[in-house]
Structure 1
Amino acid sequence: MTLFAAVSFAALLAGCARAPQPVHFFAEGKPPRLSDWHLVEARDGRLAPNADVVPYDLNTPLFSDYAHKFRTVWMPKGAPAKYDAEGPFDFPVGTVLSKTFYYPRAANEARASKAVARTYDTADDFAAGSGNAALDLSKVRLIETRLLVRREQGWEAIPYVWNAAQTEAELARTGDAIPLELVDDQNQHEGFTYVVPNENQCAGCHVANVKAKRLEPLGPKARHLNREYAYADGKREQLASWSEKGYLSGVPAADVPRDADWHDPAQPLDTRARAYLDVNCSQCHSPTGPANTTALDLRSAATDLRRLGVCKPPVAAGRGTGDRLLDIVPGKPDESILLYRMLSDEPGVMMPEMGRDTTHREGVDLIRQWIAAMPGSCGA
């Protein structure tokens, strides 16, 4: 073999080694590494999805200690999900949803520092030229990636935690606790513990129907997904893109519900607050949820003000009320149990009960404004 041929052959082998393998769906078991699935991989300074792994986002996301989230979906070819106007889509066996929790790195902090930025700005999170389709690992710190896998017996949650080198995420069946510090624009530091839930704790949110007792996705619903996404080749409507990709069938031409963006002040206060409560609370507080005995219905489509909490006494009194008498008192946020529990970070009092170690200041401000603007009173 000539020297030129040997070099060419070596280059060809190197190129093959670098090429990502296709997505590997595991019908059973829990692989020890996230990379075993070939869904999203840390490569060349990016966290990027594999071929046919589609990134997506929600109009209003669940609050998780100010973490940013990179979501993806993958499905086997020829088996699209079926559209549903209210609940989660009917996904085929073989679907894998991933959600990577990460933080922008705090300015002027060493790479190994616990400090992460408390910001909503995602402009620097993504690699140049990728749209919102690949994270720039020089700008962000990866924390965990959760998989929700649709197997024959139903959905299964599998958590992975990223190593310090940011090269691999490893199976964390018992969860994890990671000390971090949020740093805001004024360089104020707030220490907290980021908690990765164990496998059993996933059911606390993802079993949204207590009779069925099955895990189900929470984010991929029509009202959350009905928005544009900045793909690598430009912005497009997500539901249309999923349909064109063969990932979704049955989307109607009109009347698709859409939740508001809670953080957009140009949108009406009421729709923003209702969207916020929907995504953060309605998985439990709905007619079928595990908190249905409270008679609270916090879905954005709910219309009964009493079940929304307006002038409604709590079903069970206790320290969770903060000695307040009603869930929501129109015009009086500080007399409302709902706001009191959102402000708290005390176990047994705070709401939501899990998924946060900090108080969502901006979310509290939104609900405070919403209650303060409510007309009427709870007089006899």
Structure 2
Amino acid sequence: MIAMRGWRTLALAGLLMAASGCGKAPPVTFFDQGQPQTLSQWHVLQVSGRTLSLNQGVMPYDLNTPLFSDYAHKLRTVWMPAGSHAQYRTGVGLDFPVGTIISKTFYYPLAEGRDGDRNMVARTDPSQSLLRDEKLDLDKVRLIETRLLVHRKDGWVALPYVWNEAQTEAVLRREGDLVALTLVSPQAPTREEVAYQVPDQNQCAGCHAVNNRSRHIAPIGPKVRHLNRDFDYADGSENQLAHWARIGYLQGAPDPARAPRDANSGDATASLDARARAYLDINCGHCHSNTGAAITSGLHLDAGGHEGLARGFCKQPIAAGKGTGNRPYDIVPGKPDESILLFRMDSDDPAVMMPELGRSVVHREGVQLIREWIASQHGSCDV
């Protein structure tokens, strides 16, 4: 009886510790099959009180230039099974081991003066992370969704999870979701209503199927040229490639000083050409490449060194329909307002806009960057 009472006391203490966030989190759980209904089942991220934190072995990372998603900020993480690592492959993405879990959590800073409305969020620079000591303060941010890419024996699987109003759990939404948000600009008293779209599983696969022949999905962001930058880890700042190699998450990569590196599109000290190409690479290049879904367009916007017609200069569209805006060429050197590329970027019409998925509002800063880049080009399409 005494032993039973002691066991019950310990069990109760354990439950209280777990409820209060004081207990040690269970290790990351990799599911080699099935589709767990809640994000917490994976134990990649954990909510403790009003804090979202990373589990042991889950490593945050960031990109030189992030893909635009309606001004959402993103917490990116990667986890690999003990003793495994990603392998560097020249000219292509990293080769991640089976068992890898990549997560991307979309969130917004809460707007000031929102009167308790957690759907009123601030439109701030999405490249600026709000992660502090590898944690997010849930009193300052609104979690929207967490997407998982899980590497199983038969390939990658995409799983979209949507966070509840209480910000305590995210639930699998294979069919996607729409989240009504109000974007508030801190610089001006302007508001923009947004129907934020959480993609369904087919849409996830549509973007991540970077090889249009095999249709196998793969990670887009974690490539060496995007990762080659410093990151503020909890124990200090370090180049991400060097950090991944040091902790055993990456093998075979060159020294960061010799590795490929995309520019930060928001870095005013970088050249205009480097910034524009980096922006087009991350936002458009996974489709507009030699193997992507837009291969038949003949327009290549990835980092493959394409020039001339392949890059879109004086190239007539193959099948853009309404998306041309009655403009004859993808890019007219020196004339952004006559260029189809800018016309489609500057639209929120689903029948016109590019990219087709992942946004419902115009990325004003991105449009301005590409406008300036096209305006700086020399040449003529009159011949």
Q: Secondary structure at the match of 1:70?
A: strand
For 1:183-214, what per-residue CA distance to the aligned partner results, in whole angstroms no more than 9, with x for missing partners? 00212100010000111111121001011210
Provide the C-alpha distance between the structure 1 equivalents of 2:250 and 2:129, rounded to a whole number of angstroms. 31
Provide the C-alpha distance between the structure 2 equivalents of 1:263 and 1:343, rounded to a whole number of angstroms. 18
Alignment pair present for 1:139 and 2:144: no
| 1:328 Cα deviation after fit | 0.4
Provide the C-alpha distance between the structure 2 equivalents of 1:247 and 1:111, rounded to a whole number of angstroms. 41
Residues 33-48 of structure 1 aligned to structure 2 (within 5 Å): 33-48=38-53
The aligned counterpart of 2:307 is 304
Q: What letter matches 2:184 in structure 1?
A: V
Provide the C-alpha distance between the structure 1 equivalents of 2:193 and 2:214, rounded to a whole number of angstroms. 39
1:197–1:290 Cα change, 3 Å: same
Q: What letter matches 1:154 in structure 2?
A: G
Counterpart among 201, 205, 208 of residue 207 in structure 2 = 205
Q: What letter matches 2:239 in structure 1?
A: E
Alignment pair present for 1:59 and 2:64: yes
The aligned counterpart of 1:277 is 280
Provide the C-alpha distance between the structure 1 equivalents of 2:313 and 2:126, rounded to a whole number of angstroms. 34
Q: Secondary structure at the match of 1:141?
A: strand
| 1:43 Cα deviation after fit | 1.1
For 1:8-29, what per-residue CA distance to the aligned partner results, in whole angstroms no more than 9, with x for missing partners? 9665774477210000000001
The aligned counterpart of 2:191 is 189
The sequence identity of aligned pairs, in percent, is 55
Q: Secondary structure at the match of 2:53?
A: strand
Provide the C-alpha distance between the structure 1 equivalents of 2:329 and 2:210, rounded to a whole number of angstroms. 25
Counterpart among 104, 115, 126 of residue 131 in structure 2 = 126
Q: Secondary structure at the match of 1:259?
A: coil
1:310–1:122 Cα change, 3 Å: closer
| 1:275 Cα deviation after fit | 0.3
Structure 1, unmatched stretches of 5+, are none
Counterpart among 66, 78, 81 of residue 83 in structure 2 = 78
Q: Secondary structure at the match of 1:177?
A: strand
| 1:111 Cα deviation after fit | 3.2
Q: What letter matches 1:340 in structure 2?
A: F
Q: What letter matches 1:289 in structure 2?
A: G
Q: Is 2:74–2:126's contact at 8 Å kept on the other side of the alignment?
A: no
1:21–1:377 Cα change, 3 Å: same
Counterpart among 97, 102, 110 of residue 105 in structure 1 = 110
Q: Secondary structure at the match of 2:369?
A: helix
Provide the C-alpha distance between the structure 2 equivalents of 1:205 and 1:228, rounded to a whole number of angstroms. 27
Provide the C-alpha distance between the structure 2 equivalents of 1:113 and 1:147, rounded to a whole number of angstroms. 24
Q: What letter matches 2:212 in structure 1?
A: V
| 1:217 Cα deviation after fit | 0.2
Alignment pair present for 1:294 and 2:301: no
| 1:216 Cα deviation after fit | 0.3
Residues 1-380 of structure 1 aligned to structure 2 (within 5 Å): 14-15=16-17, 18-120=23-125, 125-127=130-132, 130=133, 133-185=134-186, 186-253=188-255, 254-380=257-383
Q: Is 1:125–1:139's contact at 8 Å kept on the other side of the alignment?
A: no
Provide the C-alpha distance between the structure 2 equivalents of 1:319 and 1:301, rounded to a whole number of angstroms. 28
| 1:277 Cα deviation after fit | 0.3
- Give the structure-1-normalised TM-score: 0.94
Higher mean Cα deviation, 13-22 or 298-307? 13-22
Q: Is 2:73–2:129's contact at 8 Å kept on the other side of the alignment?
A: no
Residues matched between the structures, number: 373
1:211–1:175 Cα change, 3 Å: same
1:326–1:121 Cα change, 3 Å: closer
Q: Is 1:194–1:357's contact at 8 Å kept on the other side of the alignment?
A: yes
Provide the C-alpha distance between the structure 1 equivalents of 2:141 and 2:233, rounded to a whole number of angstroms. 19
1:247–1:379 Cα change, 3 Å: same
1:121–1:351 Cα change, 3 Å: closer
Q: Is 1:86–1:222's contact at 8 Å kept on the other side of the alignment?
A: no
**C-alpha RMSD over aligned residues:** 1.9
Provide the C-alpha distance between the structure 2 equivalents of 1:122 and 1:342, rounded to a whole number of angstroms. 19
- Give the structure-2-normalised TM-score: 0.93
For 1:111-160, what per-residue CA distance to the aligned partner results, in whole angstroms no more than 9, with x for missing partners? 33421100017778234xx1xx1111110000000000000100000010
Which consecutive segments of 4 or more residues in structure 1 shift more than 4 A? 8-17, 121-124
Structure 2, unmatched stretches of 5+, are none
| 1:359 Cα deviation after fit | 0.5
1:211–1:12 Cα change, 3 Å: closer
